[in-house]
Amino acid sequence: MRNLRTPLLIFSFLFLGFFGSIYAQDEPIKLPKQQIEFRHDNDFVLLTDEYYSTGLFLAYRRRLAKGIFTEGREQLTFELQMQAYTPSDINTREVRKIDRPYAGFTGLSSEWSFSHDSGLLEVKALLGLTGPSSGAGSFQRWHHRNIVLVGVPTWFTQIEDSFHANLTVSYVLETQLAPVPFGVWLAVKPTLAYGTKDIFAQPEVIASFGRRNPAGSTVAYNQVGSIDREIYFSFRFGVRYVSHNALLEGNLLGDDSEYTIEPLSNFLRIGFDLRHRSGKNDYTMVFQFIGKEAEVMDPHRYLTLGYARSF
């Protein structure tokens, strides 16, 4: 009997392992419903340090099991952000030598999105502060003084303290021109913004190439709920028609900043994106070119790097 014990145990282990593997294959994979993302904008890596100098973003996203209109198609995003804008000469203290005012902004936004097979709708509400109270100027000076170790900005003539509220609505409509693995998508994305911080309209055209999911589950539009592999690049071309920009001309409701400038009525925004989703990890790299925002300014470019983890 003892001689049979060892083969019997081995047989039982193999038997349970075999049927356990079958059961595991039949059991559906649990898809993530939440995500945390860290994103950083900076122009220093492109050998400039001016205009939109840096941005820090921390976002939390959640896919809604039951939304307003339908199940599994809606998503909420909450994002904390800090942005710093500087003139091209960050060392001078003479107003006549700067081409834009220093401006810092810190805010919290909430966004609701509703996706369908060929696009999605996004509605974002933003509350925030400009001026010294935003902390952006102090943070950038600390960063340059202790980490970058070059060119500590003076941050004089800063846009004054002001509270801002903004609403942004965008809609994406896209069509797939070629199937994966090397898919081709063409999309249009009109955006409208209204509030004390920004008032603008921005039509945009986006062409994407590579392995990518549909609009409702792709990293292209920061959608949570899929772990299907994605790796693709895209080109974006847009024109922003500006009615008001508080980071150049101060608060729409009244402003006593020492120095402000008038924005141009429109400028170009051109981008190149490279995005990759590997399981629950999302990676983003974006090169952004921005045309002249004011007559006294030059075109600008910066790089965005982002990492998101779904769970």
- pLDDT digits 0-9 by tens, 114-164: 998 889 999 999 999 999 999 999 999 998 888 877 789 999 999 999 999
Cβ atoms within 10 Å of 238's Cβ, excluding its own = 18
pLDDT of the residue at 46: 78
Quick check: 255 pLDDT over 80? yes
CATH code of 76's domain: 2.40.128.140
Whether residue 2 lies inside any domain: the answer is no
Whether residue 130 lies inside any domain: the answer is yes
pLDDT band at 19 (very low <50, low <70, confident <90, very high): very low
Number of domains in the chain: 1
What is the residue range of 145's domain?
Answer: 30-310
pLDDT band at 20 (very low <50, low <70, confident <90, very high): very low
Whether residue 285 lies inside any domain: the answer is yes
pLDDT tens-place string over residues 156-213 = 999 999 999 999 999 999 999 999 889 999 999 999 999 999 999 999 999 999 999 9
pLDDT of the residue at 117: 80
pLDDT band at 8 (very low <50, low <70, confident <90, very high): very low
What average pLDDT does the segment 20-25 reach?
A: 44
Name the more confident of 22 and 186: 186
Angstrom distance (rounded) from CA 306 to CA 37: 7
Whether residue 1 lies inside any domain: the answer is no
Buried b or exposed e, range 84-99, using 16+ CB within 10 angstroms: bbbbbebeeeeeeebe
Quick check: 4 pLDDT over 50? no
Whether residue 11 lies inside any domain: the answer is no
Angstrom distance (rounded) from CA 196 to CA 113: 23
pLDDT of the residue at 150: 77
Whether residue 13 lies inside any domain: the answer is no
* Average pLDDT of every residue of the chain: 90
Name the more confident of 89 and 44: 89
pLDDT of the residue at 28: 58
- Pick from 106-120, 142-156, 221-235: least confident: 142-156
What percent of the chain is modeled with pLDDT above 90? 79
Cβ atoms within 10 Å of 65's Cβ, excluding its own = 9
Q: Are 113 and 121 a contacting pair, CB within 8 Å?
A: yes
Owner of token pair 């400039």: 48
Whether residue 150 lies inside any domain: the answer is yes
Q: Are 215 and 118 a contacting pair, CB within 8 Å?
A: yes
What average pLDDT does the segment 209-226 reach?
A: 95
Quick check: 50 pLDDT over 60? yes
Quick check: 84 pLDDT over 80? yes
- Pick from 16-30, 214-228, 231-245, 264-278: least confident: 16-30
List phi, psi (to 5°) of 218. Answer: -105, 150
Tokens of 257: 């900043």
Whether residue 182 lies inside any domain: the answer is yes
Pairing of strands 204-211, 183-188: antiparallel
